[in-house]
Structure 1
Amino acid sequence: MGKDFKTRSNRSKFDRETATGKISMAASAHPVATDAGEKILKEGGNAIDAAIAIQFGLNVGEPMMTGIGGSGFFMVYHAESKTVKIFDGHTRAPSAAHSKLFLDDNDEVIPFRKRSTHASAVGVPGILKAMEEARKEYGTKPLADLIEPAAQAAEKGVDVNWVMDQSLKNFEYRLGDHARELFMPGGKGLCEGDVYQKEHLAKTFRILQRDGIESFYEGEIAEAIVSTLKDLGGIMELSDLKSYRISIDEPVWGTYRGHKIASCNMPSAGGTTMLQILKILEGFDLSQYNAKSWEKYYLFTEAMRIAFSDKIAFSGDPEFGDIPLKGMLNEEYLANRRELINFERRNDSVDFGNPWAYSDGKEINVVRQPFEPDKERSETTHFTVMDKWGNIVACTSTVEHPFGSGIMVKDHGFVLNNELTDFDAVPGGLNEIQPGKRPVSCKTPTIVFKDDEPVLTLGSPGGPTIVGSVFQTIVNVLDFGMDLKEAIEEPRIFNSSGPLIGWEAGISMESKGKMESMGFEFADGPFPIGNVQAIQIDREKGLLYGAADSSREGKAAGLDD
C-alpha cells in the first residue's frame, strides 16, 4: 500500500477514511460533508438527497475547492429503471463573453494568474440548478432539510484543517478583498486548529432554504453576485443568471476487461479520455507486471500522452460544434493509436490522431494553445453515495482553481469560480469562448458495471490529473486485484501534453530511473495527484466498501440498517 497505517494516529486516520456498510455508503473529502450525507441517509433520504447535503457541506469544509459559486456534473444511477443520467450543471459563459476575452490589446494571451483572478473569468454557476433538477426528479426530501446540516455547521464554526491551511499558504495570491476578510482576518491567514464562523455563508443558506434555488438565479443572491462582479470590472448580467439552464445528458459508455463503464460526457472530456486510455491499455496484459514496474509506468504514461493529445484537439461543447466522439472511442482507431507504444523509448511523434475518419460531423481546425504550468494546478472535489435502494450519485464539483477567482460575493460568504479560463485563450478551435457556451472540463464521475449491476463508483478532483487518478484506480482494482483503499493509495503518475511526468511519493525509484533512460522527464519532486473517493459493491457478501483518499481529510461512512 502507498501509505503506512501502522501507528495509532494513522490507524485512526485509516478508520475515518474507510468504512463498510450493508445498506448504504457515503464518501467525501471532508468529515462535515460526509456527516451531512450520513445524517440524511439515517433519516430515510436516498442517495440523491444525501449527495445534495454533502455538496452544501463541502461548501462549508472545502470552500477553496467547491461551492455554490461553481459548477458540477451530478451523475445519478437510478436503480429501479437501471438508467444513468448526468445532471450537467457546468458553467456557461455570460452573453458578453467573446473569443478574445483573454487576449490583450496586442492579441497576446494574458498571463494565467492575472486572467484567472479577474472578474471576467467568472462563468455562470450551475451546480445548484443541477442538484435541484435531480432532486425534483429523484429526491424524497425538501431542499431546506438537505441544506440544514451545512447551515448549522457554518453557524457553529468550522475547524481549519491542514488542507485549508496549506491551500491558504500556497494560493493566498488568488484571494480578493472580501475573501481576505474571511480567510485572513487581521491580514494573517487562518492556520490549522483555528475555528472560524461563516456567518455570511450561513445567511445565504438560510435564504436558499426560505426562497429556494430561484433566489440564486433571480433574487437577492443573484443581485449580490452581479453587483460584486460589476464593481470589479466583470461582464455578468442578471439576465445571464436568470437564463442559465442545465442539460440532462447521457453518459459516455465504454468497456474494459468485461466491465461496462459509464462516465462523464462532453463538454467534460474526462470520461472520453479516461475510456480511451483504458481501451489502449486493454491491448496489454497488465497483470503480468508488478504494480511498481517500469513497464506499468511506461504504458500508463504513453497511453495518457496519446489520449490527451486527442482530448486537447477534439473536445468542446457539443451544443456549439461537432465532436468526433464516435471516432475517438472507435476500437479500430484506438488499435491504430496503440501502435505508437513501442516499449523502447518515449515516442516523440505522439500527437493527435484523425478520429474524424471514424466519425460523423464537420471537421474543425485544431488550434494549438500555449503550455501554461499554472493552469495544470486546478482543484475540485468529488463525492459519491449509494443508498439502500441501490441508487448511486457520483458528483465532481468545483470552483476551478483553489479559491476559484478569489472573488467572494459581498456579504454572502461564497467564492465565485474562474471556469471561463477553461476555454482556449487563443480562439479558433472547438473550445473557443462564445456566449452561453460551456468550457471543456476534465471531470470524470464514473460508475463501473459488471453484468449490468454497479460494482464500483468513483471520481477525483485535480484538473487534468482527474483522468489519471480515475483510470489508475480502476486498473488497480481490475488488473492488479487491490482492495479499494490499496487501489486509491497506490502512488500515481500523470502526464498529458506537458514535458514532465508528475509523480507521487512511493513510486519505484528504480522504475523512475529506467523511464528516464528511455527519454522521459520527471518533475523535480513528488506531489499529491488527485483525491479519489469511491464505493465498491460486493454483491456476493452483501457489503459496501467506502474509501477516501488520504491526500485530504476525507471520510467514508456506512450504514448497516
Structure 2
Amino acid sequence: MLRLLRNRLRNVLAILLLNQRTSSASILASESLGAVSSESKICSEIGIGLLERGGNAADAMVGTTLCVGVIGMQHSGIGGGGFMLVRGSDGIYESIDFRETAPAAAFRDMYKDNEIGSVVSGLASGVPGDLRGLEYLHNKYGVLPWRAVCNPAIHVARYGFPVTEDLVRYMHDATENGNTFLTDDPQFAIDFAPNGTLLGLGDILTRKRYANTLETVAKHGVKAFYSGDIAKHTIKALRAANGTMTLSDLSSYRVSIRPTLNITYKGYNIYSSSVPSGGSVALSTLKIIEGYSSKDPRLSTHRLDEAMRFSYAARGELGDPDFFKNMTAFEADLLKPKKVEKIRERINDDSTKNVTDYNPKGYAMPENHGTSHIVTSDRSGLSITLTSTVNLLFGSQLVVPETGVIMNNEMNDFSIPGIPNAFGFVPSSINYIAPLKRPLSSITPIVVTHPNGTLYLTIGAAGGSRIITSTVLAIWHVLDHNMTLPEALAKLRFHDQLIPATTFFEDGFDRDVVNSMRGRGHNVTWVKLGLSSVQGVRRLWNGTFEAASEPRQMNSAGLAV
C-alpha cells in the first residue's frame, strides 16, 4: 500500500511539473521574425539574438548548436556528429548527414573480446562531423559572418555558465555506478571539479580550453579543426588511449547529402531524412496509423504501438547507403501504400503478436543513446531541424587535453558480430563495422507542411532509440488531436521498439489505457519521465511562431521574436 501511494504521489508530481513547464513555454511564442527551440534557454537566446541582428534560421542554428555543445557537453559538441533536415525558403529540402564515420583502420571484429573498447577508449570514437555539418549549413544558407555566429558560444565557454538542474541530473546519471571520472580524471576535473569537488547547482562552470578551440575555428574556419594543431592534438589523445584514427581520417571527412523522404499524412506533407538516420521508421509508423480513426484512446494506443513494432522490425534491414545500394529502394517500398496496407491488415485490434511475427529474421539493433535536438525557423520559410550527439553521456569519457573537446563513442552504435543481445536476437550484419562506414541512427528530423506546401511544423527529438517514437507521438497529437505544440510535448509518452518485447509507459500515463494494453497481451512497464526530449516550432496561420521546448528538461526554452 505504501509503495502504491508513493507511486501515485510521484505520478501527480510529474504531471504537475509538466503542466508548470508547459504554461511557461507557451507564453513565449507570439512573434513573426523567427523562433528557436533547444534544451538550453541561454542557447535559445543566442539563436534569437542572431535573428534580431539580421541573421536567418541557418545563422541561428549554428550559434545555438555551438552553444549547446558548450552547455550540453554531456551529449553534444564538436567531438560528435549528427543529422539535419533543411527546408529552404524556396521550399526545397536538403538532408545533411554529418554523422561520424568509422576510421580507415576500423574492421568488423575490432571489438572481439573487447566490447568495452567501443564505449570507453580512444577506439570508441568515430571521425567527428559536427563542425563540417555546421560549416556546410552556414556556407549555403547563412547570411551573417562565420565569426559572428561563433562568438556567442565562445563567450559562454570562456566566462562560464551556471550549472543547471539538467546538468546536475546528467552528471549524477553518468557517475552513479561509481565511475567518478568527472573528478578523478584531471582533464575532466579542470572544468567540472576545479577545486577538487564536483561543481553543484548554480556554480559557474567554465570551459576555457574549449573556448580557445572555438576561437581558433571562428578565426581560421572549420579546416583548423580537421588539420593543423587541433587535429594533431586530437589524434595524439585518441592514440594514447588505444585509438587508431589518423590525421588523414580527420582531413578527409565530408558531409553526405542524402535523399529526403516524404509522405502525405491526412492532407499534410511530411518530410524526413533517409538512412542512416531513422526517418523512414518514423514515416512508416505514421503512414500505418493514417488509415485508422478511433476516439477510443485504448484502441488508438494499441494500434499506434503495433505500427511502431512493425516499423522497428524493418529497421533491422537498414544501414549505410554508401555500402548497401538497395537502401533507397527499400525505404521507398517501406512507405508505399500497398506495403502499408498489408501491414495494417496484419494488425489485430484485440491482441499483439510474438516478436518473431514482426521480425522473422531475428535481427536486433544496438541501443542508441544521448543526443540533443535544436529547431530554428524564420519568416522567409527557412526552417532547420538538427540533432547532434556524442552518443553515451560524455561520449567516450575522453577529453583532448589541449582543446577541451569531449570525444564521441559513436562506434558503439555499430553491431558487434557473434554477440546476441540479452533477448537472444542476433545483430544485423548490415550494421557491422567497416572502414569509413556510418552506423545506423535513430535521429529523426521532420518538417510538416500544409497541403499547399507552406511551412507548418518543424520538429525532432533527443533520447536515443526513443527519438522515433517521441517524435511520432508529438506529431500525432498536433495533427490528429489538434493540440498546440506545448500541449503535445507535455503529453505523457509510451515507447515500443519491438526488442525488447516491452511497451514502456511514462509514470502517470492513463492506467485505463495501460491496463487495456496489458489485456491485449502487451508486456508493459513504467519508466521515469525524461528519457526523451522533443523540441519544435510551429508556424501559425497569421505568420507568427509557436516555439515549444521539452517540459521534462528544466532548463530548455522555445523562444520567438
Q: Find the aligned partners of 1:246 and 1:15 in 2 and give their Cα distance.
A: 34
Q: Which moved more, 1:438-447 or 1:171-180?
A: 171-180
Contact 1:63–1:414 under 8 Å retained in 2: no
Q: Find the aligned partners of 1:5 and 1:404 in 2 and give their Cα distance.
A: 29
Contact 1:254–1:262 under 8 Å retained in 2: yes
Aligned-pair distance for 1:435? 0.6
Contact 2:47–2:60 under 8 Å retained in 1: yes
Contact 2:97–2:257 under 8 Å retained in 1: yes
Q: Find the aligned partners of 2:359 and 2:496 in 1 and give their Cα distance.
A: 18
Match among 532, 535, 546 for residue 534 of structure 2: 532
Equivalent residue for 1:368?
Answer: 363
Q: Which moved more, 1:115-124 or 1:13-22?
A: 13-22
Q: Find the aligned partners of 1:493 and 1:435 in 2 and give their Cα distance.
A: 36
Contact 2:122–2:244 under 8 Å retained in 1: yes
Letter matched to residue 479 of structure 1: D
Q: Find the aligned partners of 1:187 and 1:513 in 2 and give their Cα distance.
A: 50
Aligned-pair distance for 1:528? 2.2
Contact 2:505–2:526 under 8 Å retained in 1: no
Aligned-pair distance for 1:217? 0.5
> How does 1:141-540 map onto structure 2 within 5 Å?
141-172=144-175, 173=179, 175=181, 177=185, 178-185=187-194, 188-268=197-277, 270-286=278-294, 288-289=295-296, 293-311=297-315, 313-321=316-324, 322-323=326-327, 324-348=330-354, 351-352=357-358, 368-369=363-364, 375=367, 378-426=369-417, 429-450=429-450, 451-496=452-497, 497-539=499-541
Match among 52, 72, 78 for residue 62 of structure 1: 72
Three-state SS of the structure 2 residue aligned to 1:339 is helix
TM norm structure 1: 0.90
Q: Find the aligned partners of 2:381 and 2:260 in 1 and give their Cα distance.
A: 18
Letter matched to residue 476 of structure 1: H
Q: Which runs of 5 or more residues in structure 1 are unaligned? A: 105-109, 355-365
Aligned-pair distance for 1:353? 6.6
Q: Find the aligned partners of 2:292 and 2:112 in 1 and give their Cα distance.
A: 44
Q: Find the aligned partners of 2:22 and 2:475 in 1 and give their Cα distance.
A: 26
Match among 75, 83, 91 for residue 92 of structure 2: 83
Contact 1:17–1:549 under 8 Å retained in 2: no
Say what the alpha-carbon RMSD is for the aligned residues. 2.2
Percent identity of paired positions between Structure 1 and Structure 2: 28
Q: Which runs of 5 or more residues in structure 2 are unaligned? A: 1-11, 419-427
Letter matched to residue 278 of structure 1: L
Letter matched to residue 264 of structure 2: T
Contact 1:48–1:138 under 8 Å retained in 2: yes
CA spacing shift, 1:200–1:15, aligned 2, 3 Å: same
Letter matched to residue 227 of structure 1: K
Q: Find the aligned partners of 1:77 and 1:347 in 2 and give their Cα distance.
A: 39
Three-state SS of the structure 1 residue aligned to 2:264 is strand
Three-state SS of the structure 2 residue aligned to 1:240 is helix
Aligned-pair distance for 1:219? 1.5
Aligned-pair distance for 1:422? 1.0
Aligned-pair distance for 1:446? 0.6
Matched, 1:28 2:38: yes
CA spacing shift, 1:239–1:402, aligned 2, 3 Å: same
Q: Find the aligned partners of 1:339 and 1:6 in 2 and give their Cα distance.
A: 37
Aligned-pair distance for 1:300? 2.1
Q: Find the aligned partners of 2:180 and 2:223 in 1 and give their Cα distance.
A: 29
Three-state SS of the structure 2 residue aligned to 1:523 is strand
Equivalent residue for 2:8?
Answer: none
Equivalent residue for 1:52?
Answer: 62
Equivalent residue for 2:421?
Answer: none
Q: Deviations over 1:273-316 (max 9, x none)?
A: 00110111112104x23xxx2223212221111110110x2110
Aligned-pair distance for 1:74? 2.4
Aligned-pair distance for 1:265? 1.0
Letter matched to residue 301 of structure 1: D
Three-state SS of the structure 2 residue aligned to 1:239 is helix
Contact 2:237–2:401 under 8 Å retained in 1: yes
Three-state SS of the structure 2 residue aligned to 1:254 is strand
> How does 1:126-145 map onto structure 2 within 5 Å?
126-145=129-148
Three-state SS of the structure 1 residue aligned to 2:219 is helix
Q: Find the aligned partners of 1:422 and 1:248 in 2 and give their Cα distance.
A: 21
Contact 2:26–2:546 under 8 Å retained in 1: no
Three-state SS of the structure 2 residue aligned to 1:19 is coil
Letter matched to residue 16 of structure 2: D
Aligned-pair distance for 1:339? 2.4
Equivalent residue for 2:422?
Answer: none
CA spacing shift, 1:222–1:352, aligned 2, 3 Å: farther
Three-state SS of the structure 1 residue aligned to 2:370 is coil
CA spacing shift, 1:388–1:174, aligned 2, 3 Å: farther
CA spacing shift, 1:529–1:429, aligned 2, 3 Å: same
Three-state SS of the structure 2 residue aligned to 1:276 is helix
Q: Find the aligned partners of 1:206 and 1:413 in 2 and give their Cα distance.
A: 12
Q: Find the aligned partners of 2:362 and 2:509 in 1 and give their Cα distance.
A: 35
Q: Find the aligned partners of 2:112 and 2:192 in 1 and give their Cα distance.
A: 31
Equivalent residue for 2:424?
Answer: none
Q: Which moved more, 1:210-219 or 1:248-257?
A: 248-257
Letter matched to residue 32 of structure 2: K
Aligned-pair distance for 1:78? 1.0
Q: Find the aligned partners of 1:13 and 1:66 in 2 and give their Cα distance.
A: 27
Contact 2:22–2:490 under 8 Å retained in 1: no
Letter matched to residue 441 of structure 1: S
Q: Find the aligned partners of 1:334 and 1:149 in 2 and give their Cα distance.
A: 47
Q: Find the aligned partners of 1:202 and 1:549 in 2 and give their Cα distance.
A: 27
Equivalent residue for 1:359?
Answer: none
Q: Deviations over 1:475-502 (max 9, x none)?
A: 1011111111001110010010212222
Aligned-pair distance for 1:519? 2.0
